[in-house]
Each structure stands twice: as structure tokens, then as C-alpha cells.
Structure 1
Amino acid sequence: MEVLTQERVLTKLDHARLTSLLARSRAGLPPKLAALAEEILDFADVVEATEIAADVVTMRSRVRVARTGEAPVEFTLSYPVEGSPPPEGTVSVLTPMGLSLLGARTGQTVSWTGPTGEPHTAQVLEVVYQPEAAGDYGA
């Protein structure tokens, strides 16, 4: 479930919320995924929400991506929902794909390894909606 390294920028609020979420969820996550999430949080550049560029994928951003050989798709990067499948049109940040997108920029290609070892890539085509760019700093 490895996500290839990339430069990442996170808001202070996203970083704090994800750190707390990881502390609560760690026992229920596959060990490699939990370690990867910790690594991302440890090495990300952390900035104020008012300073994040509008082309960076933050939590609750709506993004359009294209996986190799597939039509573009649009979804929202979300926090995991307890006790039920994720709502349609969302991808949980605590998945290999979700972690690969967190902090990525428009135009960037992200890579991750799926649960059975298959490699995946996707290009971030557009950040359709980013809460911080819309002035929603507490989303």
C-alpha cells in the first residue's frame, strides 16, 4: 500500500485533525497504511489555511483526476465514515489513493500501491472546489 513520495503541503487544521484521527484509528488500519499516514504527516510542509495555494488538494476538496487508461472522475476527499460504506462521490483519506492525493497539486501525478500489490497512478486534473480557496477555513 505504499504511496510514492511527493512534496506535500497541508493546512495546520488538516494536519491536526488527521493526526488526531490517526491516533484514534491506528488500531483498525493495516500497519503499512498507518505507517504511511504517519510518514506523510511527519514530512509535510504545514501552513496556515489562509496561505495554502488554491491548486492543492486539502481535506474536503472536490477533485477531478484521471487514472491511466480511464475516463476522468470527480470526488471529494473525505474523512472516513464510521460503521458504513463511504458516501458515493467520496474517497476516504485513510485509503492508499486518498493519502496519495492529500497535499498534491493540480497537474501532479500521484502513485500508490493497492491492497493486492498492484500499482496505480492518477493525474490531478483540477481542484474543482477547495474549502480554503472558498474562504471556508473551518470545513
Structure 2
Amino acid sequence: MASTPAPITVSSLDLERIEQLLDLPAHRDAAGAQALRGELARAAIVDPPQMPADVVTMNSTARVVDEASGDTRELTLVYPRDADGSPGKVSVLAPVGAAMLGLRVGQTIDWPLPAGRWLRLQVTGIAYQPEASGHLHR
């Protein structure tokens, strides 16, 4: 069921920080590291001030809807150090986090669940994006 989403957009600042993260021994071979590298390899890179406001960037909070159930939730894409187990915080190294990075409102991701099941989530809005809020160096 997993499919490759449409092209993604990533800020040059996020790219630099994520590449540094992936170079660390603690994260180099993490479960989501390879998927994240793949996402970055296909991304269009833009400077933070040019980031469209409808894109999920690091530290963004996206509204997503489960296409099967209609349930809505907010997910904040964070660096591993900030993934403290709080509801809604998703590490960029988690499969769903790597898949969220760079998505635009209207795009979907397939989120793997236990027992081989999948959840399809659609990004329906961006509640907060650092770049759109002027927080370019967060």
C-alpha cells in the first residue's frame, strides 16, 4: 500500500540540520534514517524565507485526517531530542515523521501500523509553521 508522495519541499536550514543529525553515530542507522535520506534526495530545497506556508517543515504542526475514519489530529514534526512522548509529537526519524517532511496541504501519507496494517493520512492544514511565522532560525 505504501506509495511515494508527490515531490516535496525542504528548507535549506532543515536540510543542513537533518544531515548533521544523520551523521551522528546515534542516528546514522536509526530505523527511519534510510527513509529520511531518500526523502531528502528527492526534495526541492528552498531558503527559509521562500518556504511556502502550506508545507510541513521541522517544528511545524500539521492538521491531518485519517481518510478511513475521518478522525482529525494535529502532529508536530520534531527532532529526536524533542520527541518526548507527548501526544502529537513525531520525530523526523520515525517513519511517519520522515514521510511528513516537506508535504503540502492536500497531500497524503501512508503510515504503517502493527500487524502489517496501514493508515492513510491527508494533510488538511498547517496550524503552525516556523517560516510562515517569521521564525527562520528556530
Q: Distance in 2 between matches of 1:130 and 1:101?
A: 13
Q: Do 1:3 and 1:113's aligned partners in 2 also have CA atoms closer than 8 Å?
A: no
SS at match of 1:81: helix
Partner of 2:112: 113
Q: Do 2:5 and 2:107's aligned partners in 1 also have CA atoms closer than 8 Å?
A: no
Q: Do 1:3 and 1:100's aligned partners in 2 also have CA atoms closer than 8 Å?
A: no
Deviation at 1:34, TM superposition (A): 2.1
Q: Distance in 1 between matches of 2:61 and 2:117?
A: 25
Partner of 1:92: 91
Q: Distance in 2 between matches of 1:85 and 1:131?
A: 20
SS at match of 2:37: helix
TM-score, normalising length: structure 2: 0.86
Q: Do 1:56 and 1:103's aligned partners in 2 also have CA atoms closer than 8 Å?
A: yes
Deviations 1:30-69 (A, max 9, x none): 2xx3221111111111000011100000000011101131
1:67-106 counterparts in 2 under 5 A?
Answer: 67-68=66-67, 69-81=69-81, 85-106=84-105
Deviations 1:87-118 (A, max 9, x none): 33311111111111110011111224346532
Partner of 1:44: 43
Unaligned runs of 5+ in 1: none
Q: Do 2:99 and 2:109's aligned partners in 1 also have CA atoms closer than 8 Å?
A: yes
Name the Cα RMSD after superposition.
2.0
Structure 1 window deviating more from structure 2 (96-105 vs 70-79): it is 70-79
Which residue type is aligned with residue 42 of structure 2?
F
Structure 1 residue ranges, 4+ long, deviating more than 6 angstroms after superposition: none
- Does 2:63 align with 1:61? no
Q: Do 2:64 and 2:74's aligned partners in 1 also have CA atoms closer than 8 Å?
A: yes
Partner of 1:23: 23
Count of aligned pairs: 134
TM-score, normalising length: structure 1: 0.86
